Structure 1
Amino acid sequence: MSLPPGFLDELRNRVPISRMIGRKVVWDLRKSNQARGDWWAPCPFHQEKSASFHCDDQKGFYYCFGCHAKGDALTFLREADGLSFMEAVKVLAAEVGMTVPQQDPQARERSDRRTRLFEVTEAALRWFRLQLQTGAASEARDYLARRGLDDETQQQFDIGFAPDNRHALGAALREKGFDEALIIEAGLCARPDGGGAAYDRFRGRIIFPIKDGQGRCIGFGGRAMDPNSFAKYLNSPETPLFDKGRNLYNIGQARSAVAKGQPLIVAEGYMDVIALSRAGFQGAVAPLGTAVTENQLHLMWRISPEPIIALDGDAAGQRAAQRLIDLALPLTGARQALRFAILPAGQDPDDLIKTAGQGAMTALLGDAKPLLDLLWSRETEGQNFDSPERKAALEQRLKDAIARIPDELTRQHYNEEIRRKRRELFGGSWQRGERGRQDSGRYRGRSRTGSAPVPIGATRLDGPNAGASLLEGASLLLCAFRPHLVAKVETRLERLIPQDADRASLLHDLLTGTESAAGARALETLRADAHLGLTPSVIRQQDEETAVTILSNLLDRLEAERAVGTELARAENEIQGEVDEGLTWRMQQIARARHLAERPDMEDSGDMNEDRDALSAQLQDWLSGEIWRKPPRG
């Protein structure tokens, strides 16, 4: 709905923002200036110990210098408590006694309907709680006692009981004045397909109320007491209040715990969450009877940038983890990550805590693995990579998976980690690096076309006749100093076959993230070459886009030079006979391709007499300078 002009401004001005935020944070009074309304605290949106979260009462805004969260009081209520915009407006208005303007009739009717549904679910919650104290619930109380759920825990989670009676809850709610249609809409009763009186959905079950971020009951989950029951756990159906794919069990209590520094732990079920909470891990949540959904992932990331997925070590838990990998990869990025803590086979969190203690769970959570590790395990465990084809298939699967990550910087780090893991798995025998080593020996001392190699220093890098050896050396040197560029041109680098063994070793090191003595020799030789003259200070001045453009241009020209060599070798063989139009045309085309590689900004107009291009001039500008010294690590 639209609000009258000035209403929101007046609302914000009436409530010091520190009052709303102060309920979620602990102010650092040494750093804060209370008289000026200048407040500092550890950020409630990400885990930290220092006070980087700033709140300014005069301006009415907050800002975190760590995670860059920012906004006003309404934004804070929406982010911290998961409220809609209008819900946040109503909470803030109630704080200062302001009346929110009336909505249009249809919106007001929907709002009133939701309010009535909340009244029905809250009445059902209280009724279930009372039933747990009756004689019919003795078996349920014994079960809860065996699981270690004392009265305090039962009260904290509002655990109740639904007697094995088809009409008990419905009759009780109707006695309180609730219409049967409203009870059915709330998901508490259902009508038989063949007609007749509505019956209770939950019967003979321990009841776990499901609440939203504000602590309002939106639905229920029930655990059957009869071991032969068709479904061990039963949840409320989809209702105007309850969407199981968009909510998490215990979300309200978990959000408060995470704001105080606890990790967000995603367990499998209600009892897992309760067991974790009793052991001190109060930032625990669980999906609602289904696999984790995309909406639930976004809800988790609003609470914590790196939730820990704690799954059982059995086959079902492993399958759930594998499904979650594929779901999370297209969503992952900075401040949207996952870690996985896989419990021992046959144990849930309650079992582990009871048998090994709280410390075992703390250690398990501390050793939680990033999503990349589970992806790697899925693609490699139990497999034999004894052939180039199997290694190639592994590489293709990993590339396809990583390509789904939308954030470029995250993809680059994934690629770097994958290269490191490949090195650990295969040592120095990763197929493409080996191919470079073998081919380099084959062509040692001569070019691929059979002509004499171009000596280092015989040509200049900015001229139209820059030799393949110098272009190759410049490309390798640039990648060595800025290794993150390797991932951007990896496929093109893999096609290179350097003209000497040391350069082949350097190329292998760049592609696999390793270091070798031969590669180090090649690097020192390139550093000492006066025609390259790359200095750390000059290279660092180039922005990312410029560096990528320059590297791509170097590779374009290198490939064109090698194509020229190949065509010349073929022409030498054919020229012995009669020169035909086909040979002339091929020579014209290869000359044009070579010129275009040297002139990436020029259209292919056929004019071969243009001056050198601006990019080559820029290249020469920053390829001059003192001999390149070894850069500091990191």
Structure 2
Amino acid sequence: SETVTLKKSGRNHLGFCPFHSNTKTPAFVVFPDTQTWRCFGACADGGDLFSFVMKREGYDFKEAVRLLAQKAGVQLEELTPQTAQQDEQRHKLLELNAAAAAYFYHLLTESPAGAKTRNYLAGRDITPETIATFQLGYALDEWEALKSHFIERGYTAADLLAAGLIVERDDGSPGYDRFRHRLMIPIRDIQGRVIGFGARALSDQQTPKYLNSPQTMLFDKSATLYGLDLARKSIRAAGQVVIVEGYMDVIQAYQRGARNVVAQMGTALTEPQLKLMASLARQIVLALDADAAGNAATIRSLSVARQLLPRQARATSTSRGIELEAHIVQEIYIAALPADKDPDDVLREGLETWQNLIDHAIPTLDFYEDLILGQADLTTPQGKSFVVRELIPIYREIRDNIEKTARAQRLARKIGLDERVLLAELKSQYEQPRPAGRKRQPPSPPQPEPTLPAAPEMAPLPPDDKPDPGLEKYCLALILAHPTALAMANDTLEKQGLPGLTVNDFKQGDNRAIFKSLHLWTAAETPKIETLVEMVGETL
């Protein structure tokens, strides 16, 4: 109830799902009897209280347990000695990082040594308020200033090494400060705790330009998005996350009022980063540099995204019967930055200019098409073949068959190919043999009725006398997400002389009861989620 306004509906409670944009039909249901929740809308997700907190806050299970225990006033049991030691070390490093951030901030804002860095930030239009919000700092141009400061305060060289704040010498002796004469940028986790640092060079002679903390117990750059702690609420509210490459891009965006912007920690998005964003927003906009390096990074990001973003099953009728296809759920766009400008430059022109850029972001596929066409020599058969090999598999991701065909026809005109050839290629790709799953065979006594074919890339179905609860739930979720799928599947099976899907195809008692309710629900002229909730009742 802290996040969702719930209205009692029979024995359950109904409200708008907090995980996707929807203000018309409440589809988020809480079942008090079972202490569970489920979204019957775009998310098609559900679980218990722990999974809700994990999804809402971006926490792992342990963090969710701690938060809920704290809210409930429950004292958690003692940890094992090994786990307690790890937690103690983690807590100590978090404490040390927080102290280091405060130390750097003081040097920037209060010490004479930080004057030039203050002038540098002022020249980039960064205000004192923004400096305080992000706790920007300065590292002295000395080899052991930080090391001496914290050893005097009771920390050991081992602590500083574990936090990545000093570097071990070649001979293994206590090291020297990792960050020297640099603008210090604390990197925080989704809860706002300092887990590492990014450091920008302040002179042309320094290399590299940006130096990050090494991987530590706290910091893994492949699983971190800079600025997410400040952007999380705005991302959820907008249903959109904007990805940039640099720390300063995020800082400028926040200062100008664009609060749904985060930065990737590398040249390409990673699987953990994508999964984190997918849990927060349905629309992802990549606003990256327009130069060659930016385009290369974008291609890598798109390649990762296509493979790793969550997918949703959809039933499609083909010449071989019902096929279950997986489609990317998230919407991904590219913000085409002007030549010779990065997001920081655009943001300094004003929020309106930036927002206009984001509003006119290019669909991923359009951007990818332009890149592929630009790389090919279309005067040669090899160039045309390259384009077809790259783009036809991507067209299969398109849900709408009309758009899929239209894009293939347009591509044929662009590369000077007979569109019938390209459409045939699209069809051969579209209806290629699928691995896994076995064909449904007519029943023969005394065998029970067989089940529907499995989804693509699933393991073969188990023998009929060994029910697969996961597959049964998959079929139920498919019917729920697409109420017409059941009728369409049964019509196709009937045309092939096969029996339609019945309650006997489900072996689990709860699943049989849910299928009965779904069967009646989908038969209604206008299926309403409230009706289904009442029909299913406590079964869910």
TM-score by length of 1: 0.61
| 2:286 match | 309
| Deviation digits for residues 253-287 of structure 1 (CA, Å, limit 9, x no counterpart) | 22111122262111011000111112221111111
Q: What is the identity percentage for the equivalent residue pairs of Structure 1 and Structure 2? A: 32
| 2:388 match | 395
TM-score by length of 2: 0.71
| 2:367 match | 374
How far has the Cα of 1:432 moved from its partner? 4.8
Give me the whole-angstrom Cα distance separating, in 2, the residues matched to 1:77 and 1:542.
37
Contact 2:226-2:265 at 8 Å conserved across structures: yes
| Cα pair distance change 1:548/1:377, threshold 3 Å | farther
Letter in 1 for 2:397: R
| 1:113 match | 89
| 2:139 match | 162
| Cα pair distance change 1:289/1:426, threshold 3 Å | closer
Letter in 1 for 2:61: F
Give me the whole-angstrom Cα distance separating, in 1, the residues matched to 2:259 and 2:421.
54
| 2:26 match | 52
Give me the whole-angstrom Cα distance separating, in 2, the residues matched to 1:412 and 1:262.
21
| 2:300 match | 323
| Deviation digits for residues 312-371 of structure 1 (CA, Å, limit 9, x no counterpart) | 11121111111222222222444234211121111122211333x322221211121222
1:365 aligns with 2:341: no
Alignment of 1:66-145 (within 5 A): 66=41, 67-133=43-109, 134-145=111-122
Query: Aligned with 2:187: secondary structure?
Result: strand
| Cα pair distance change 1:545/1:146, threshold 3 Å | farther
| 1:411 match | 397
Aligned pair partner of 1:345 in 300, 321, 339:
339
| Cα pair distance change 1:233/1:69, threshold 3 Å | same
Give me the whole-angstrom Cα distance separating, in 2, the residues matched to 1:347 and 1:436.
38
Alignment of 1:253-332 (within 5 A): 253-261=230-238, 263-332=240-309
More strand by share: 2
Aligned pair partner of 1:187 in 139, 143, 164:
164
How far has the Cα of 1:37 moved from its partner? 9.4
Comparing 102-111 with 61-70, greater Cα deviation is found at 61-70
Give me the whole-angstrom Cα distance separating, in 2, the residues matched to 1:210 and 1:286.
11
Query: Aligned with 1:373: secondary structure?
Result: helix
Contact 2:239-2:280 at 8 Å conserved across structures: no
Give me the whole-angstrom Cα distance separating, in 2, the residues matched to 1:435 and 1:115.
63
| Cα pair distance change 1:319/1:240, threshold 3 Å | same
Give me the whole-angstrom Cα distance separating, in 1, the residues matched to 2:98 and 2:252.
24
Query: Aligned with 2:282: secondary structure?
Result: coil
1:336 aligns with 2:324: no
Contact 1:277-1:284 at 8 Å conserved across structures: yes
Give me the whole-angstrom Cα distance separating, in 1, the residues matched to 2:363 and 2:180.
41
Give me the whole-angstrom Cα distance separating, in 1, the residues matched to 2:12 and 2:242.
35
| 1:543 match | 488
CA RMSD of aligned residues (A): 3.5
Aligned pair partner of 2:39 in 60, 64, 82:
64
| 1:208 match | 185
Contact 1:306-1:335 at 8 Å conserved across structures: no
How far has the Cα of 1:488 moved from its partner? 4.0
Give me the whole-angstrom Cα distance separating, in 1, the residues matched to 2:415 and 2:130.
57
Give me the whole-angstrom Cα distance separating, in 2, the residues matched to 1:55 and 1:544.
28
How many pairs does the alignment contain? Answer: 427
How far has the Cα of 1:166 moved from its partner? 1.3
Query: Aligned with 1:223: secondary structure?
Result: strand
Letter in 1 for 2:44: H
Query: Aligned with 1:286: secondary structure?
Result: strand
Query: Aligned with 1:203: secondary structure?
Result: coil
Give me the whole-angstrom Cα distance separating, in 1, the residues matched to 2:291 and 2:39.
41
Letter in 1 for 2:78: Q
Contact 1:270-1:286 at 8 Å conserved across structures: yes
Letter in 2 for 1:156: T
Give me the whole-angstrom Cα distance separating, in 2, the residues matched to 1:138 and 1:92.
45
| Deviation digits for residues 291-332 of structure 1 (CA, Å, limit 9, x no counterpart) | 221221111111112211110111211111112222222224
How far has the Cα of 1:289 moved from its partner? 3.7
1:420 aligns with 2:413: no
Contact 1:52-1:64 at 8 Å conserved across structures: no
Give me the whole-angstrom Cα distance separating, in 2, the residues matched to 1:93 and 1:291.
37
| Cα pair distance change 1:146/1:328, threshold 3 Å | same
Query: Aligned with 1:132: secondary structure?
Result: helix
Alignment of 1:6-25 (within 5 A): 18=1, 22=2, 25=3
Contact 2:188-2:194 at 8 Å conserved across structures: yes
Give me the whole-angstrom Cα distance separating, in 2, the residues matched to 1:397 and 1:436.
13
Query: Aligned with 1:359: secondary structure?
Result: helix
Give me the whole-angstrom Cα distance separating, in 1, the residues matched to 2:431 and 2:493.
9
Give me the whole-angstrom Cα distance separating, in 2, the residues matched to 1:57 and 1:434.
53
Higher RCO (C-alpha under 8 Å, 6+ residues apart): 2
Contact 2:241-2:281 at 8 Å conserved across structures: yes
Letter in 1 for 2:348: K
Contact 2:29-2:38 at 8 Å conserved across structures: yes
How far has the Cα of 1:413 moved from its partner? 3.1
Give me the whole-angstrom Cα distance separating, in 2, the residues matched to 1:365 and 1:106.
48
| Cα pair distance change 1:51/1:121, threshold 3 Å | farther
Letter in 1 for 2:66: K
Unmatched 5+ residue regions in structure 1?
1-17, 403-409, 438-478, 492-538, 554-613, 616-634
Letter in 2 for 1:63: R
Alignment of 1:438-517 (within 5 A): 488-489=430-431
Give me the whole-angstrom Cα distance separating, in 2, the residues matched to 1:244 and 1:286.
11
